[in-house]
Structure 1
Amino acid sequence: MEETNPLSSLKSWFSAQGGSFDPSVDLSEGPYGISVFVRIGTEGGQLEDTTIVTCPFSLIITKDASLRALGTLLGHGTESQSSLETWSERQLICCYICFHWFFSESRSTMIVLRHLPYIRCLPAAEKLSTPLHFSERELELLKGTNLFGATLDRGHDWRTEWEQCRSLVQTVNQAWGESLTWERYLTASTHLSSRAFPSSILSAEPSLVSTPSTYPVLLPGVDLLNHKRGQRVSWEVSCSEAKQGGTLSGTVSVISNEELKEGQEVFNNYGAKANDELILGYGFSLPDNPDDKITLQIGGAGKAQKWEIGRNARNVEGLWSEIRGMVSSEESEYEFEDDLEAASILSEMCQAKLDGMKTVADVTEDDDGIRPGVKVMLEHYIEGQRAILESMLKFADGKQKAAIEEAREQGIDLVFDDE
């Protein structure tokens, strides 16, 4: 393969392998890497209900395709093959991506590592902005939030996976093991988390719903479409089962059902996602995201029930019922006493979270240690988290007032300390 412009190579490779983009769209560099735009000069000046991109099954990066490639490189029928089969889907796909960065473009290697034109067009590590790519100062502003703990957990899990992968690769080839750095594995893992679709899209009855039995797959071309909440899109999967071997072949297409004018970006719709999920997995956020949520539980970690509460205290009733059940006692002469205690517990829980969380002002102050794009994400996320907690405080205050009114109706005037 000749060394050419990466974008031109991607287009040529994608077309040669059976993929296609509609002639009315073009690929161009956008704020999040290569994106899809309506071509200037499109007939009629706009498009609607158009099949934007089609990717053949043969180009999709799956765990099985990655396992076959890595098995060829590391040795089929050896102890390494048995070890490879114990790796997770993420380990297989991420190491397959990383191996593309190890080698020059020799024809023999590219037979096994088929996706170099695609991988070369993925954003460079310095352009990635998920929390594992934050500076210490940027990460510090997440302290007190669920996202801070989730970031640390993800970093620990991915490092453990990387160490296992590197150990095996080193036993086969010391130089390859040294090339499999943490930075490269992190970059590949971030590409996977930000671009993957569930494997259920490849089934005879395709679905975009992730379940415990699905795993992430990469769809070159399709993953160039960025997310826009509420965007109207359709998916079309043409799938047939081969007579021998039972393997599936076919294509995956994305159809834009929006009326788009020339020059506009063409978007996909990843579904309803809160800012914590968008930031952790994708590296961007939405202002005033209506899908924002905060996860709370009583009794700390473990198997305790976790409650996801949304804006305007959405779904708070389940958490309230659990707290109410905890304080309920046969010794309570009046029900309003239990309501008051439950309201107090809920208020203290929310206030403690608010007190331990940074404010938007902490983020917006002039600080050279925070990149502008990260600052925007932090503002969006912290605003949403605090808005949810404040709505829960209002909910608890309403429960307290209702309990006080109930007491008065029973002829009891309650007196509270100033504290």
Structure 2
Amino acid sequence: LIERRLGASSSFRPYLALLPSSFPSLPFNHLPFIRAALGRCSPLLMSIVDKAQEDLAGMHFFLSATLNLTTVEKTMAASAGRSAEGRGKGQMENDDFGLPMSGPLTVREYLWAVCVVLTRAVPMKDATGRSLELIAPMIDLVNHNSSQYGASGVAYNETSDAFEFFTTSAYQEGDEIFFAYGPKTNDDLLRGFGFVEANNRFDNVFVGTILQPILMQDAALADALDFHPEGIQPATDDDDGQRLGLALSAERSELLREHRSD
């Protein structure tokens, strides 16, 4: 945020010029009808997204009350021998983010910065082996492919003072390189990066949210028919584990099929 507000005087200006102005593919930026459809397909994902939105609102309130970006930006500019007020002529040509270049932290500005970090932070390890999430300009242009998990990655080389890409895969000149952002399901990828991957080796489906309404309906029907084979207890509101066994009972399933055919 501070570097963006420094405009043309920022050392990161070329990188900032590459960043998207918006992130419509992230779930908490989806249009209402898309959110509704996604909620029906993956209610667990949407519950996580809704909670994240609440947390983001609280964090913005905290930061806007405690962080004076204008003061920080002027201090940085002064320490670097540059003037934040006098940068207008050379201001970023692509500064069409619709965000303020000075003043208090706005909601839109904060969410833009959060989206940049969410979608572009690169997992690294420091000299002690501690895991970090860093904004690493240019390295974050490498796209994700789950097949590269454990086969490629990025590390910082302290000796050469540079980020290095390593891989065990064979690449020809002109090939696009990939690394895996982690063992992430498609829900993870959609929530954190705004995309899903075909043939994702780590993808899975949480069947509980899909089966539960069906099992509840079938269990209620079995209760209504007073159908409780030996060893299977009547369903109760808090009965989770028994429902699957009840639903998959061959004898009960046959009775339900006959009842529905009638």
SS of structure 2 residue aligned to 1:260? coil
**Conservation of the 8 A alpha-carbon contact between 1:131 and 1:151:** yes
SS of structure 2 residue aligned to 1:148? helix
Distance 2:141 2:104 in 1: 28
Distance 1:100 1:170 in 2: 14
Structure 2 match to 1:255: 166
**Conservation of the 8 A alpha-carbon contact between 2:118 and 2:193:** yes
Structure 1: gaps (5+ residues): 1-97, 207-213, 241-248, 298-308, 314-333, 350-392, 405-413
CA positional deviation for 1:262: 4.3
Q: Deviations over 1:124-150 (max 9, x none)?
A: 21x541112211222121224112222
Structure 1 match to 2:66: 168
**Conservation of the 8 A alpha-carbon contact between 1:204 and 1:239:** no
Structure 1 match to 2:206: 294
Aligned residue type for 2:170:
E
Matched, 1:119 2:38: no
Structure 1 match to 2:118: 193
**Conservation of the 8 A alpha-carbon contact between 2:45 and 2:187:** yes
Distance 1:204 1:257 in 2: 24
SS of structure 2 residue aligned to 1:185? helix
Aligned residue type for 1:204:
T
SS of structure 1 residue aligned to 2:206? strand
Structure 2: gaps (5+ residues): 72-99, 212-228
CA positional deviation for 1:278: 0.5
Distance 2:70 2:153 in 1: 45
Matched, 1:220 2:137: yes
CA positional deviation for 1:119: 2.4
Aligned residue type for 1:167:
A
Structure 2 match to 1:300: none
Matched, 1:142 2:59: no
Distance 1:105 1:171 in 2: 17
User: So what's the TM-score if we normalise by structure 2?
Assistant: 0.63
SS of structure 1 residue aligned to 2:63? helix
Matched, 1:276 2:177: no
**Conservation of the 8 A alpha-carbon contact between 1:233 and 1:258:** yes
Q: Deviations over 1:303-343 (max 9, x none)?
A: xxxxxx9xxx9xxxxxxxxxxxxxxxxxxxx98225x759x
Report matched runs for 1:68-217 at 5 Å.
98-106=1-9, 110=10, 114-125=11-22, 127-144=23-40, 145-170=43-68, 178=103, 180-198=105-123, 201-205=125-129, 214-217=131-134
Report the CA distance shift for 1:254/1:270 in structure 2 as closer, same or farther (over 3 A).
same
**Conservation of the 8 A alpha-carbon contact between 2:142 and 2:179:** yes
CA positional deviation for 1:234: 4.5
CA positional deviation for 1:225: 0.6
**Conservation of the 8 A alpha-carbon contact between 1:167 and 1:177:** no
Report the CA distance shift for 1:193/1:415 in structure 2 as closer, same or farther (over 3 A).
closer
Report the CA distance shift for 1:140/1:348 in structure 2 as closer, same or farther (over 3 A).
farther
Distance 2:48 2:127 in 1: 31
Report the CA distance shift for 1:294/1:176 in structure 2 as closer, same or farther (over 3 A).
same
**Conservation of the 8 A alpha-carbon contact between 1:166 and 1:180:** yes
Distance 1:185 1:171 in 2: 11
Q: Deviations over 1:144-195 (max 9, x none)?
A: 411222222111211211122222345965x877453222211111111112
SS of structure 2 residue aligned to 1:186? helix
Distance 1:256 1:160 in 2: 40
Distance 1:216 1:236 in 2: 12
SS of structure 2 residue aligned to 1:216? strand
Report the CA distance shift for 1:143/1:234 in structure 2 as closer, same or farther (over 3 A).
closer
Distance 1:236 1:168 in 2: 34
Aligned residue type for 2:179:
N
Identity %: 21
Report the CA distance shift for 1:216/1:235 in structure 2 as closer, same or farther (over 3 A).
closer
Report the structure, 1 or 2, having the larger strand content: 1
**Conservation of the 8 A alpha-carbon contact between 2:154 and 2:163:** yes
Which one of 209, 215, 232 corresponds to residue 337 of structure 1?
232
Q: Deviations over 1:374-397 (max 9, x none)?
A: xxxxxxxxxxxxxxxxxxx6x764
Distance 1:288 1:396 in 2: 33
